[in-house]
Structure 1
Amino acid sequence: MSHLLVEGPPGSGRTELLRALAASLAVGARPDDLGLLLVDGAGGMRGEGLAALTELPHVTEHLVASDPVRMRAFAQALGAELKRRAELLGPLSFAQWHEAHRDREEGGEHGEQQQGGAPLSATRTLRLRPGGQRPAQDVRRAPSPLPRLAVLVDDLDALVAPALGSPGRPAAGSVMRALEAIARDGERLGVHLLAASGAHDRTASTELARTVRLRAVLDAPPTAPAPEDPTPGRGRLVGPDGATPFQAGRVTGRIPRTATRRPTVAPLEWERMGDPPARRPLRELGNGPTDLALLASAMDRAARSVAAAPVAPLSPVHP
């Protein structure tokens, strides 16, 4: 997993793309294997930001850059976590350490099974079962000793150059130093940075902008939007192998609670991706839950069913 920098002007869909990325990451990992740390760099001055993501069971921190005390505590805790991981991993990368850890666990289990020909539990007692019958797979397991962390930052440019009078301005430098450390050393330590910026000139000199291998460049919205214009979130993913066009999904729009027609599936060419859907008669519009809320609820139930406890928060101040 690489770092990612999202760039685009206001109205291009930067925040919604970060929300969709967070939802995708959460779907692909248990909450005890992945922790999401959210940072709203503009301090809540540019809308709701990433607050909607706090419903995901993977979210352990949500920092709104408006409280200097909490911002410094967050930066200090993040720096301490990077140092702890560096000492724990030593010369190994995150993936190499987990592979070695898994090999040690499998070797220990194999050694236990060699004693008496029957598997032993952690309490060294026999687990009896009828011969030839395979036990049902138990999806409950111990939490990961070193979970992966993803830090999602909206309005990175507001942290690099905070506005005069911004309440978080005194501590913005502390947060940026912690984020720069992630951009420099985080990939090896299993800590990844996904940041969005609306002002390329402000963030061009940051460690992330200089070294990032994946960059999502969003198209500017039309000055006079028309019904046939594409929805925000269209752009190009630029990487070592070239540029790939994409259309980001919208996960926080409210869905109709009732409709006169059932959902349908129809083929759609790439050229029409992002075009407004065909109008359909609806009784109610926009009063239902969001797709993100439904997804978060389902993942929370799934996590509870396997006793997957979320990753503990890093900073001591956590509302």
Structure 2
Amino acid sequence: PASLQARWADAADDAKSLGGRAWVILGAGPRGPVCADLVADGPHLLIEGPSGSGRTELLRSAVASLAAAERPDRLGIVLLDGRDGVAAGNGHGEGLRVCTDVPHVTTHLTANDPVRMREFAQSLSAELKRRAELLGLADFSEWHTRREVSGRIVAQRTGPGRSGAADPAAADPEGADLDAPPSSTLRLRPAAARARGEATPPPLPRLVVVVDDLDALVSPALGSPGRPSAGSVIRALEAVAREGGRLGVHLVAATTPGGRTAQTEPARRAALRVALDAPASGHGGASLLERGRELGGEPAPGRGRLTGADGRVTPFQGGRVTGRIPRTATQRPTVVPLEWQRMGDPPTRRSVRELGNGPTDLALLASALERAAREVSAAEVPSLL
């Protein structure tokens, strides 16, 4: 938690990311971590790859890195599983549900309930309209810049008969007239005075909509429960692709290459694109970390290339945030009294339950994020559902 708080404090002091950071760490590249900055290089990211290439795991890594880079009251995350076959449980079938323990996640939707899907589309469209009315003609960063300046600057007031004094309140604290007209002099208002002063506009956090299996929403299968409402969700996501950059709403979507998805607004307007390689035969079910060690070998899950808006291509190997800690890592030393009569006996085998698999890296991060959010008293971002 202390390390996360230090990161969040650094983000708050970063003048280049007013309104909140949106950093997506994709994996390890030739020169270190490969990062996609949705604010500076985005605003949207599209991940393309065939089945088994590690799309869902890369989205989970994106959620983890987004949460580690910014406070939950400055960055909200919305999760959408495009396939209606996502089931609870362990393994690959859980989709983005495993990320719901991250405190930044405000909404999770699976495309199997037409009523909730339609409600989600309406809420997302309403949120875009609310932000457009609040920002006016300014963009997201400009609005936060004005809000920061207006919160620090206040007109100086003068007392009766002391219009020429540099600081009338200091010269005569009891004679300062609150009803006197303000002068044209501006001074910085301390943080404590701001807290006691007039109410400031409510904070407007960045919002990142993470969509898995976008192609399943664009072309839903016949008989799919969410098919009647898929069109309304796609229209809301297309509005995010068109207007989200100015409103502080970003889209991170994963899809299979080709098909009708390539003609949609999210695909056309994605300035950042990731192409994942098809895994070689024989890699099915293997750990992404194990395959990631084969940097010079055949394509492995999570192996891909990031293409920026300037056309620069950076190869990377994605990691695995939902792999469980090996059983040997959870063993703790046990001290028991040893009797002389049993000195030659073999050691007692420890129970399987005690040696069971440990938590995932994502679960450990979510716990640390929750504690860090409580320490900084982060306000909760309202859900879209």
- 1:40-83 CA deviation, whole Å, 9 max, x = no partner? 00023482110011010000000101000000000000000001
How many correspondences in the alignment? Answer: 277
Tell me how far apart the structure 2 counterparts of residues 260 and 92 of structure 1 sit (CA, whole Å).
Answer: 52
The code of the aligned residue for 2:302 comes to: G
- Contact kept, 8 Å, 1:32 with 1:143, in 2: the verdict is no
Evaluate the alpha carbon distance shift between residue 90 and residue 164 of structure 1 in structure 2; reply closer, same or farther with a 3 A threshold: same
Which of 234, 252, 257 aligns to 2:303? It is: 234
Structure 2 match to 1:190: 248
Tell me how far apart the structure 2 counterparts of residues 82 and 38 of structure 1 sit (CA, whole Å).
Answer: 17
Evaluate the alpha carbon distance shift between residue 70 and residue 311 of structure 1 in structure 2; reply closer, same or farther with a 3 A threshold: same
Identity across matched positions, percent? 62
Structure 1 stretches of 4+ with a deviation exceeding 4 A read 114-119, 226-231, 283-286
- Contact kept, 8 Å, 2:78 with 2:108, in 1: the verdict is yes
Structure 1 match to 2:363: 293
Evaluate the alpha carbon distance shift between residue 107 and residue 18 of structure 1 in structure 2; reply closer, same or farther with a 3 A threshold: same
SS of the counterpart of 1:91? coil
> What is the TM-score when the length of structure 1 is the normalising length?
0.80
- Contact kept, 8 Å, 1:33 with 1:144, in 2: the verdict is no
SS of the counterpart of 1:32? coil
Evaluate the alpha carbon distance shift between residue 229 and residue 110 of structure 1 in structure 2; reply closer, same or farther with a 3 A threshold: farther
Structure 2 match to 1:128: none
Instruction: Please give the residue correspondences for 1:1-319 in structure 2 after superposition, counting only pairs within 5 Å.
Output: 1=39, 2=42, 3-45=44-86, 47-108=93-154, 116=169, 120=193, 122-123=195-196, 145-225=203-283, 229-230=291-292, 231-239=300-308, 240-259=310-329, 287-315=357-385
Tell me how far apart the structure 2 counterparts of residues 120 and 220 of structure 1 sit (CA, whole Å).
Answer: 58
> What is the TM-score when the length of structure 2 is the normalising length?
0.67
- Contact kept, 8 Å, 1:215 with 1:237, in 2: the verdict is yes
Tell me how far apart the structure 1 counterparts of residues 373 and 331 of structure 2 sit (CA, whole Å).
Answer: 33
SS of the counterpart of 2:94? coil
Report the Cα offset of residue 306 of structure 1: 1.5
Structure 1, unaligned runs of 5 or more: 125-141, 263-282
SS of the counterpart of 2:125? helix
The structure having more radius of gyration, on CA atoms, is 2
Report the Cα offset of residue 12 of structure 1: 0.4
SS of the counterpart of 2:301? coil
Report the Cα offset of residue 144 of structure 1: 5.8
- Contact kept, 8 Å, 2:212 with 2:253, in 1: the verdict is yes
- Contact kept, 8 Å, 2:152 with 2:194, in 1: the verdict is no
Question: What RMSD in Å do the two structures reach over aligned CA positions?
Answer: 2.7
Evaluate the alpha carbon distance shift between residue 285 and residue 50 of structure 1 in structure 2; reply closer, same or farther with a 3 A threshold: farther
Evaluate the alpha carbon distance shift between residue 260 and residue 18 of structure 1 in structure 2; reply closer, same or farther with a 3 A threshold: closer
Report the Cα offset of residue 258 of structure 1: 3.6
SS of the counterpart of 1:75? helix
SS of the counterpart of 1:222? coil
Tell me how far apart the structure 2 counterparts of residues 250 and 103 of structure 1 sit (CA, whole Å).
Answer: 42
